[in-house]
Structure 1
Amino acid sequence: MSTNLSVVKGAYEAFQRGDIPAILEVIADDVEWRVVGPASLPFPRECRNKNEVSAFFKSLAESDDIAVFEPREYIDAGDDIVTLGFVKGTIRSTGEAVESEWIHVMTLKNGLLTRFVEFFDTATRGGH
């Protein structure tokens, strides 16, 4: 397993146990962090630094109760890592159940995440 893949897997493990500070430790000060989706998403769609990424995680926790988060497949291309996974949870404001497969595309430099792009089925959020 490459060092970059180890970093990514460690970040997912930190997310699963709710350890956002551990995730922030492996994010570069200048990061491109994007969630591809409509402006109606209740969490930030674009972040440029650790403070904004921290706010992303706070907004995500406030908007969604995530019951299942499963990274299922990794594609290791050196500095670029692609992860295919699945998420299932509830939108806190409506009680609506949501689930979607997702894709994360990441770039790492010197062991730090410099780019993170997430794609998921935003239609499962019922227009949110």
Structure 2
Amino acid sequence: MSTQLGILQGAYEAFGRGDIDAVMNCIAEEVDWRVVGPASVPFGGARKSRKEVAEYFRLLSESDDVTEHEVREVIDAGDHFVVLGYVKATVRATGKPFETEWVHIITMKDGQVTRWLEFFDTAAREC
């Protein structure tokens, strides 16, 4: 297993435990962090700094109660990764449960995430 892959897997495990501080230790100061989707997704949009990524995690926690978050497959291409997974959550504002598969496209350099793109079925969250 590559060092980068080990760090990435550790970050996903930390997220699963709710240890956002450990996740943040893996984020570069300057980062391309994007959740692709409509403006109605409270934690969506682009972020460019570690501080802005911390805001992403705050907004995610405030808007959705994640009850299941599963990494199903990791495709390792050196410093580039594709992570396939599944999430089950409830939208706090409406009480509506949803579940969807997701895809993360990640680039790492020197043990830190420099690019993170998320794609998921945003319609499942809003219907």
* Structural mapping, 1:80-99, within 5 Å: 80-99=80-99
Deviation track 1:3-59 (CA, whole Å, cap 9, x = no partner) reads 111111000011011111111111110000000100111114111111100010000
Aligned residue pairs total 127
In 2, the alpha carbon distance for the partners of 1:33 and 1:20 equals: 16
Q: Name which of structure 1's ranges 39-48 and 75-84 shifts more when overlaid on structure 2.
A: 39-48
In 2: Cα distance, 1:19 partner to 1:90 partner: 20
Gaps of 5+ in 1: none
Report if the CA contact (8 A) 1:4-1:81 is conserved. Answer: no
Matched-pair contact (CA < 8 Å) for 2:104–2:118: yes
Instruction: Name the CA distance, whole Å, in 1 between partners of 2:98 and 2:44.
Output: 18
1:125 shift after superposition: 1.4
Corresponding letter in the other structure for 2:95: G
Cα distance in structure 2, aligned partners of 1:44 and 1:112: 21
> How far apart are the structure 2 equivalents of 1:126 and 1:118?
17
Question: 2 CA distance for matches of 1:44 and 1:99?
Answer: 17
Instruction: Give the structure 1 partner of residue 113 of structure 2.
Output: 113
Q: Per the alignment, in what secondary structure is the counterpart of residue 54 of structure 1?
A: helix
2:48 counterpart of 1:48: yes
Between the aligned partners of 1:48 and 1:7, the Cα distance in structure 2 is 21
Q: CA RMSD in A?
A: 0.8
Residue identity over aligned pairs, in percent, reads: 54
After the TM superposition, which segments of 4 or more aligned residues of structure 1 sit over 6 Å from their partners?
none
Equivalent in the alignment of 1:5: 5
For 2:40 and 2:70, locate their aligned partners in 1 and report how far apart those are by CA, in whole Å: 25
Query: For each residue in 1:56-86, what CA deviation from the matched residue of structure 2 results, as whole angstroms up to 9, or x when unmatched?
Result: 0000000000000000101000000110000
